[in-house]
Amino acid sequence: MAIIVLARELAALGEETAKELCSVLPGYHYINKEEIEQTLHERGITEKMINRYDEKKPGFFDVFSSAQNQFLHHLKTVLYEKTESGNCILVGQGAPTLLKDVPGVVTFRLICPENIRIQRIMKRFNCDERRAQMMITHTDNDRIGFNRYFFDIGWRDPVNYDFIINTQRLNATQTANIIKNILPQLVDQKQEAKCKEAICNLITSQKILTKVLYEEKLPIYFLEALYDGNSVTLNGVTNAPSCIEKVSAIAKEITGCNDVHSNIYIASDIPLTHEV
């Protein structure tokens, strides 16, 4: 059970490499953008929200909206649930950051010199050089802004990935074979077992958040639920002291464990209206 995660510059062969990986790694499944968006729709995330936040830099007034938090919560949930069975490939959409510390996950960033990217875009979209340059600038800025806003990381920073691959002299098949050859050197059976356990714990943590914030709609702000398989740690702030016990009870109910540590504190100056 291994998970391959690709970050990519536009026209650096990201999606093409993901498709080729399914050919060179039998049994692997490419969880593409359309599949993720379809599942988000099923969870109540509108097309408007996806177009506004998915690998996009939110606008200034988005900081005052709860929609961005709702989108990110459900994006996390979908990514964790889709990767639970392992042996899969993801491209972008926050996956390199959300999964980077999970055992058995290997992250790659595909890059390419801008002049080659321009040539590829001109050929693919049958457009002129100016239009290709605009597409690159727009997409790069969106992905930089998305990663900085939601995860506070530098999208171009190499320390955020296990490997950087320059596809200037490679096609998608060659890139996929490089990744194929790297994979067994990093992921063994022990890593695979830890991967499954870690993903299951992340899914359980998301279930707690879903119940508290989107089903019970309890006024807990900045809520985090961290489940490690044996205990739950809750972090957050509320203006309603009675909610603290309710959140702990929900965590116990979902996980089946009594070892719940609540670090939710009370702040009386938080507005009574609740947006998550």
What's the confidence (pLDDT) of residue 1? 72
Within 8 A by CB and 6+ apart from 126, the residues are none
Residues 165-173, mean pLDDT to the nearest whole number? 98
pLDDT over 60 at 272, yes or no: no
How far apart are the C-alpha atoms of 219 and 248, rounded to whole Å?
A: 14
78-136 pLDDT, tens digit each: 999 999 999 999 999 999 999 989 999 999 999 999 999 999 999 999 999 999 999 99
Tens digit of each residue's pLDDT (9 = 90 or more) over 122-144: 999 999 999 999 999 999 999 99
* Nearest CA among 57, 175, 173, 159 for reference residue 111: 175
- Average pLDDT on 225-252 reads 96
* Extents of the domains making up the chain: 3-191, 216-266
Report d(CA 54, CA 48) in Å as an integer.
10
Q: What is the pTM of this model?
A: 0.93
Q: What is the pLDDT of residue 62?
A: 79
The whole-chain average pLDDT of the chain stands at 94
pLDDT of 1-59, one tens digit each? 799 999 999 999 999 999 999 999 999 999 999 999 999 999 999 999 999 999 998 88
Fold of the CATH domain 3-191 = Rossmann fold (3.40.50)
What CA–CA distance (Å, rounded) separates 44 from 48?
11
> Does residue 276 carry a pLDDT above 80?
no
- Helical residues (DSSP H) of the chain, grouped into ranges: 14-24, 33-42, 47-53, 67-82, 95-98, 114-125, 129-151, 172-186, 189-209, 242-255
Predicted confidence (pLDDT) at residue 273 exceeds the cutoff of 70? no
What's the pLDDT score for residue 23?
97
Span 171-195, mean pLDDT? 95
Q: What are the Cα distances from residue 180, in Å, to 4, 26, 187?
A: 10, 11, 11
Give pLDDT, residue 269. Answer: 60
Q: What are the structure tokens assigned to 7, written together? A: 């970050």
Q: What is the pLDDT of residue 245?
A: 96
More confident site: 272 or 240: 240
- Tell me what the mean pLDDT of segment 233-262 comes to: 96
pLDDT value of residue 104: 96
Q: pLDDT at position 91, please?
A: 98
Give the span between the Cα atoms of 267 and 251, in whole angstroms: 22
pLDDT at 270 over 80: no
